[in-house]
Amino acid sequence: MPDASHIWDNARARTVLRSMFNAAVASADPFLVLAAHLPPKPKGRCVVVGAGKASAAMAAALEAAWPDVPLEGVVVTRDGHAMPTRHVRILEASHPVPDGRSELAARAAMQAVSGLGPEDLVIALVSGGGSSLMALPAPGLTLEDKRTIGRQLLHSGATITEMNTVRRALSAIKGGGLAQAARPAQVLTLVISDVPGDDPSVIASGPTVPPSRTGVDALQIVARYRLNLSPAVRQALERHAAEQRASTPAADPRNRVVLIATPLMALQAAAEVARQQGLTPLVLGDALEGESQVAGIVLGGMARSARLHGLPVRPPAVLLSGGETTVSIRAGETAGKGGRNTEFLLSCAHFLGGEGGIWGLAGDSDGIDGTEDAAGAIFAPDTLARAAQAGCLAEPFLRNHDSYSFFKAVGDLVITGPTLTNVNDIRLLLMT
């Protein structure tokens, strides 16, 4: 019987990791998962609205599932994520910071659901990224106010839940605003989750879901990260907090929110591929947060322990995790190219120092890690050595948050293009 170290060479490990990542992404393909969650066809009008990186694909999948239903409406997605549709209008806008098109899209969605009756059905297609793609400033605010606070949040180290809590408090459409505008129509929200915990009020800042956090929370968050607020923004946050204390609008009891794809489902799909390849999968969790570099060290240590001691799992095995880590750009630091997944992976590779028998892949399921053209990257036991030959040392790239450039130099980027879905990050560490 051949030795396992010979079976698991670079080529096979890389192929299996890519297959696992592809399976995770496919688990959230709207064309595969959306139709099973549709209700009986409505008696009245059926208006489709939505926002997110997957919203256009979700609209196309809905049209394919209901070819005989006269659909109408509008959804907004990220630039480059549009798909052809017959009835639902597809708009594009900026991500991760909103632009003028984001406001126009929000107003178009509010207009689409106005004037409906109790026999009408609104299907809201919501996925990650919707917060910036559909932006309607609260009274007294401008879009530039929201853009300014959004940029600060992106560089603060705030979690996605914290960022969306603040965004929701500054919006006239988030936090259930779209559902309120649709009354008395019934609203069915189909959600592809990209946030730790799968809280529908956080995903795209919950345009059809009353918030689970209050305006007071938003004030606490901006204080925690020492954000520089304009008087108008501070007044808006204080006004929102007061309104939340006074009353919360009652939701229509007919309204439903359905999670059609989640990070855990994606990890389970990847785990099944691992089993088929003779690996023992260990899912560490679907909601990991914290600094990307720290997470790389922690999970790298777990992979090393597995190889040395068979704990927390005996090789050949793979550690799987999801969630969303953060990259904090602090005062005086250089912001290079890269996102949270490549930064995680470079930190992990640097910690392991070229240790044999450990490979890793980390990627954003939407196909874009941060703002670059890669979903993420792969590292192998020889990655650091190949990088050194090319004159690239891991430490300065980590210090400058330039992980994309590091992996590009050694040819280890994972490039998928937009996947038209989004179930957050997929991190895989394979040990033999």
For the chain, the domain total comes to 2
Q: State whether 125 and 10 are in the same domain.
A: no
Instruction: Encode burial over 382-409: b for 16+ CB neighbours within 10 A, e otherwise.
Output: ebbeebeeeebebeebbebbbbbbbbbe
Are 209 and 297 in the same domain? no
Phi, psi of 219, rounded to the nearest 5 degrees: -65, -40
- pLDDT score at 160: 84
Q: Which residues contact 202 (CB under 8 A, 6 or more apart)?
A: 160, 161, 164, 165, 195, 212
Same domain assignment for residues 142 and 267:
no
- Domain of 153, CATH number, reads 3.40.50.10180
Same domain, 167 and 279: no
pLDDT at 5: 44
Q: What is the model's pTM? A: 0.88
Distance CA 163, CA 4 (A): 45
Q: How many CB atoms lie within 10 A of CB 59?
A: 30
Pairing of the two strands 317-323 and 358-364? unpaired
CATH number reported for the structural domain that contains residue 296 in this entry: 3.40.1480.10
Q: What is the mean pLDDT of residues 316-328?
A: 95
Confidence (pLDDT) at 213: 62
Whether residues 209 and 287 share a domain: the answer is no
- Shared domain for 183 and 313, answered yes or no, is no
Q: Which of 209, 227, 261 is the last residue of a domain?
A: 261
pLDDT for residue 23: 98
What is the C-alpha end-to-end distance of the chain, expressed in Å? 16
Q: List, for residues 9-25, the tens digit of each pLDDT value.
A: 999 999 999 999 999 99
Residue range 14-57, pLDDT digits in tens: 999 999 999 999 999 999 999 999 999 999 999 999 999 999 99
Residue 192 contacts residue 423 (beta carbons within 8 Å): yes
> What is the predicted pLDDT for the residue at 328?
87
- Res 2 pLDDT > 50: no
Q: Please tell me whether residues 62 and 195 are part of one structural domain.
A: yes
Sheet strands side by side (includes 89-93): 89-93, 71-78, 46-51, 121-127, 186-192, 256-261
* Largest pairwise CA distance in the chain: 73
- Residues 253 and 337 both lie in one domain: no
Side-chain-side CA neighbours of residue 119 (13 Å): 3
Residues 6+ apart with CB under 8 A from 345: 296, 360, 361, 362, 376, 377, 378, 379, 403, 407
Last residue of a domain, one of 219, 244, 261: 261
Taking the CA of residue 155 as centre, how many other CA atoms within 13 Å lie in the half-sphere pointing to its CB? 18
Indicate the range of 197-206, 255-264, 347-356, 358-367 predicted with least confidence: 197-206
CA neighbours within 13 Å on the CB side: how many for 359? 23
Check residue 215 and give its pLDDT: 66
Q: Which two tokens stand for residue 407?
A: 């992996």
- What confidence score (pLDDT) does residue 310 get? 98
Identify the helix (H) or strand (E) that includes residue 100. helix 100-112
85: which residues sit within 8 A by CB, 6+ positions away?
Answer: 56, 59, 60, 63
327 has pLDDT over 60: yes
- Check: CB of residue 414 under 8 Å from CB of residue 185: no
Specify burial of residue 94 (Cβ count, 10 A radius: 0-12, 13-18, 19+).
Answer: middle
Whether residue 174 is found in the same domain as residue 289 = no
Nearest partner of 77 among 49, 112, 45, judged by Cα? 49
Query: Which of the residue ranges 247-251, 259-263, 323-327 would you say has the lowest mean pLDDT?
Result: 247-251
Same domain, 195 and 132: yes
Show Cβ contacts of residue 309 under 8 Å, excluding neighbours closer than 6 positions. none
Q: What is the pLDDT of residue 249?
A: 66
Residue 70 and residue 118 in one domain? yes
Residue 63 clears pLDDT 70, i.e. is over it: yes
Residues 6+ apart with CB under 8 A from 43: 119
pLDDT (tens digit per residue) in 149-192: 988 998 888 888 898 889 889 999 999 999 999 999 999 999 99
Share of the chain above pLDDT 70, in %: 97
Closest to 195 measured CA to CA, from 31, 337, 323, 15:
323
pLDDT at 235: 92
Tell me which residue of 193, 211, 73 sits closest to 130, measured CA to CA: 193
The two tokens of residue 267 are 């990890």
Distance CA 297, CA 171 (A): 38
Quote the domain boundaries for residue 322.
Answer: 4-26+263-431
Q: Smallest Cα–Cα separation from 330: which of 156, 93, 114, 198?
A: 156
Band of pLDDT at residue 101, cut at 50, 70 and 90? very high
pLDDT band at 204 (very low <50, low <70, confident <90, very high): very high
Kind and range of the H or E run holding 245: helix 231-246
Residues β-bridged to residue 185: none
For residues 302 and 215, what is the distance between their CA atoms, to the nearest angstrom? 39
Instruction: Identify whether the C-beta of residue 77 lies closer than 8 Å to the C-beta of residue 48.
Output: no
Do 181 and 52 have their domain in common? yes
- In this prediction, residue 333 carries a pLDDT of 79
End-of-domain residue from the set 231, 261, 291? 261
